[in-house]
Amino acid sequence: MTRKRVGVLISGRGSNLQALLDAAAQPDCPFEIVLVLSNTAKVQGLERASAVGVATAVVDHRTFPDREAFEKAMTEALEAAQVELVCQAGFMRVVTPWFVTHWHDRLLNIHPSLLPAFPGLDTHGRALAAGVKLHGCSVHLVRETVDQGPILGQAAVPVLPDDDPESLAARVLEAEHRLYPTCLALYATGRIEVSGETARVESACGPGRLLINPTPEASGA
């Protein structure tokens, strides 16, 4: 089996990166992480990569005259490592149409909400303020509009009455760690078919799987 060569873009903690590294360590995993690239030096994610012998690079956006020059330097590093798919994992830079076009259908992102709800920042605070009862995360292909693009997979978690943004974020993060490696493995093996702005997932779960909060049992009915 040839494994898809994946580059991961990070800006910080790298817990999603860790989930991808852990998955890639399994012998039957269809992808390998060949480069971890951060736009900030000395972040925990870089240490996580080094700890398992994965190559790292820092491309500091502040040292470039504009976004495109920064992205061209990132692309150079990714292509030098023969990267086939790029995963944004807590990468906190908005990318330009140039980068999106260059990596068209080869650039994935994880976002901490059930898109198209709550694109942008502070998703957990906004979900609580909106009073939603299910929240979660999405893995999608990156398009020009921020947090928009064909959705490859989503995971939902309940919002509980005493949640604050931190407790909700922690519950969503656990779901992220399961969702991202799953979607990447499916995508890397051609089991997600992208047609325009939607994606069809071959192994999506069938009927009879109901995610409901509150549960019918809670009503006593």
Which residues are at the interface with ligand GAR (CB under 6 A)? 12-16, 89-90, 110-112, 173, 176
- Asked if 111 is an active-site residue, the reply is yes
Given the residues 61, 102, 104, 111, the one annotated as active site? 111
Strand duo 151-158 + 134-141: pairing: antiparallel
The contacts of residue 71 (CB under 8 Å, 6+ apart) are 95, 96, 98, 99, 102
Nearer to ligand GAR, 154 or 189 (CB): 154
**Shortest separation between residue 35's beta carbon and ligand GAR, angstroms:** 17
CA 150 to CA 55: how far, in whole Å? 29
Query: Least distance in Å: CB of 214 to ligand GAR?
Result: 25
Q: Which residue is nearest to ligand GAR (CB)?
A: 90
Q: Which residue has the tokens 């330097």?
A: 73
- Our CB check for ligand GAR shows the closer of 29 and 142 to be 142
Provide the minimum distance between the beta carbon of 5 and ligand GAR in the complex, in angstroms, as a whole number. 20
CA 55 to chain centre: 20
Burial (Cβ within 10 Å: 0-12, 13-18, ≥19) of residue 101: exposed
Question: Which C-beta is closer to ligand GAR: that of 1 or that of 94?
Answer: 94
With beta carbons less than 8 A apart as the criterion, state whether 59 and 37 touch: yes
Shortest CB 196 distance to ligand GAR, Å: 23
- Active-site annotation, residues: 111
